[in-house]
Amino acid sequence: MKLMYAVIATLKVNDEHTKKMATKSCITITELADTLTRDFGISFRKAHSVAMDIAKTTTKAQKELVEWKIDEINTMIQQFVNVSLSEEEWKKIISPEHFVEIRNIQGGPSQKEVIRMIKERKRKLGEDLLEYEKIVEKLMIRRKLLIKYSF
């Protein structure tokens, strides 16, 4: 635990490198499937087939999602379904920031949800510490009684 604390306490995040890495390896491709399902009514299975095909094509071409032009993406999508994305929709889909923010469900990575979880954990920790202190106090009282009766 001490080692973990030391690592976290001294951790420095390189924002630029982190943002750069978040655009690599089709990391946001599931947002394409989610968008096709949520916004266009495409079945979950079909939407994930589209996303998987684009991810495979991207990897095979040794490209990143950000390197595709919208007309190329729409051509790939239309091999499966009759949907055309706008440039703005595609930019949101491949945006790591959007990918995180839109996942604001309980336990999700959005900033709002992370802040809520931290507050909840701190509240619970406070309760647990109070309970711990009560137990320690009871044990100390019983210890004194044991010492008193043992001599």
Cα dist. 3→6, 10, 122, 149 in Å? 5, 11, 21, 42
42-73 residue pLDDT tens? 999 999 999 999 999 999 999 999 999 999 99
Identity of residue 84 = S
The pLDDT, as a whole number, for residue 23 is 82
Cα dist. 136→121, 123, 127, 149 in Å? 22, 20, 14, 20
CA atoms within 13 A on the CB side of 60: 6
16-47 residue pLDDT tens? 888 888 888 899 999 999 999 999 999 999 99
Please say whether the beta carbons of 37 and 47 come within 8 A: yes
Q: Where are the domains of the chain?
A: 2-102, 106-151
The pTM of the full predicted model, rounded to 2 decimals, is 0.73
